[in-house]
Amino acid sequence: MKILVAGATGAIGRPLLPRLRAAGHDVAAITRDERRADALRAAGVQAHVADVYDRDAVVAACVAAAPEVVVHQLTALPKALDVRRYRAAMRETNRLRAEATPHLVAGARAAGARRIVAQSISFITAPEGPPVHDEDARPFTDAPAQLRDAVAATLALEETTLAATDLDPVVLRYGFFYGPGTYYAPDGGTAQEIRARRFPLVGGGTGISSFVHVEDAADATVAALAGGAGGRYNVTDEEPAAAAQWLPHAAACLGARRPLRVPALVGRLAAGPHAVHFATTLRGNSGARFRETFGWTPAYPSWREGFRQALGAPA
């Protein structure tokens, strides 16, 4: 198949491109940077330079690439995520999700693509009901102010993509990425915070995270190119975990001291209610629907072994 990837040089785009080529697909990419375009061409990818905020440029790039499937992996995340300034850190990614998604949908239509696959996130559901949510859980539209824009932009991406029923749309709600090029890598921002004991356990550490190794996420994206019904799917490993479980394990894998503990009130004052939500009331997310629909199994079913491999723990 001919596949066009927007966001080919991001955390998931980097492992995705070689997997697409290894699977025999003809791969093209959209990038805003001519230097990145040269690097992509050197790797055997047909690169098209376009500003994703320019609808006409995106449509022209899509038509030139003539893909059967368009894959939307656009993000603009900072190297290190300052949770205290979460709204500012997410601003450009929020804009990409809200403003660039309609352009990619228009481009996919103009190119005659048969499917569009778009990156979303699983951890936007409201802190209510069971500890682990499926894709039908209510989104956290009444989230704390620092988080609200990210939820709104993510839902805008999903709604725009899923409304394009003529493109057999698939929205992939990835869990928290770990592995090379992510915050949860030995050189990643979150790993550095854990090493410096600046990533404490807040309250009881009862917030539940669902993780996925970035290479598993890339494999899942390849699986989503064909077959399976369009719709919204969580892409996560098989073991949602409370912070009180995964954070000490991550520290141990990094060879760091155990995380400090702080009361929820201190966390709220230091970082804000959105940070306390992630630490204490976040719900996990089940990826069972995607695994059953697309026949996908993660290489790392649990973050336990995945962290040992990704964070450099000794054997």
pLDDT tens, position by position, 135-160:
999 999 999 999 999 999 999 999 99
5 pairs with which residues across the strands? 29, 71
Residues 6 or more apart whose CB falls under 8 angstroms from that of 34 comprise 49
Taking the C-alpha atoms of residue 287 and residue 285, their distance in angstroms, rounded to an integer, is: 7
Helical spans, DSSP H, in 70-164: 86-95, 101-111, 145-163
Q: Are 178 and 306 in contact (CB under 8 A)?
A: yes
- Confidence at residue 227, expressed as pLDDT on a 0 to 100 scale: 93
- Confidence at residue 315, expressed as pLDDT on a 0 to 100 scale: 45
Residues 6 or more apart whose CB falls under 8 angstroms from that of 206 comprise 242, 243, 244, 280, 281
Taking the C-alpha atoms of residue 315 and residue 313, their distance in angstroms, rounded to an integer, is: 6
Taking the C-alpha atoms of residue 286 and residue 292, their distance in angstroms, rounded to an integer, is: 11
- DSSP classification of residue 160: H
In the three-class reduction of DSSP (H, G, I as helix; E, B as strand; rest coil), residue 212 is classed as: strand
Closest-CA residue to 152 (of 87, 103, 89): 87
In the three-class reduction of DSSP (H, G, I as helix; E, B as strand; rest coil), residue 28 is classed as: strand
- Confidence at residue 313, expressed as pLDDT on a 0 to 100 scale: 60
Closest-CA residue to 72 (of 163, 166, 160): 160
The amino acid at residue 104 is: L
Residue labelled with tokens 């098989």: 238
Angle between helices 13-22 and 214-223 (to 10 degrees): 50
How do residues 249-290 score in pLDDT, each as one tens digit? 999 999 999 999 999 999 999 999 999 999 999 999 999 999
- DSSP classification of residue 100: I
2 pairs with which residues across the strands? 26
Q: What Rg do the C-alpha atoms of the chain give, in angstroms?
A: 19
List the domains of the chain with CATH numbers: 2-182+212-236+285-298 (3.40.50.720)
CB atoms within 10 A of CB 35: 8
- Phi, psi of 15, deg, nearest 5: -75, -20
- Confidence at residue 312, expressed as pLDDT on a 0 to 100 scale: 85
Task: Specify the DSSP element, H or E, that contains 211.
Answer: strand 211-213
- Residue 73 tokens read as 């992996």
How do residues 5-14 score in pLDDT, each as one tens digit? 999 999 999 9
Taking the C-alpha atoms of residue 295 and residue 270, their distance in angstroms, rounded to an integer, is: 43
Return the exposure string of 59-97: e unless at least 16 CB atoms fall within 10 Å of the residue's CB, then b.
bbbbeebebbbbbbbbbebeeebebeebbebbbebbbbb
In the three-class reduction of DSSP (H, G, I as helix; E, B as strand; rest coil), residue 190 is classed as: helix
Cα–Cα separations (whole angstroms), residue 296 to 19, 73, 83, 143, 220: 15, 19, 32, 32, 7
Q: Are 208 and 175 in contact (CB under 8 A)?
A: no
Which stretches of the chain score pLDDT less than 50? 315
Residue labelled with tokens 């949908």: 105
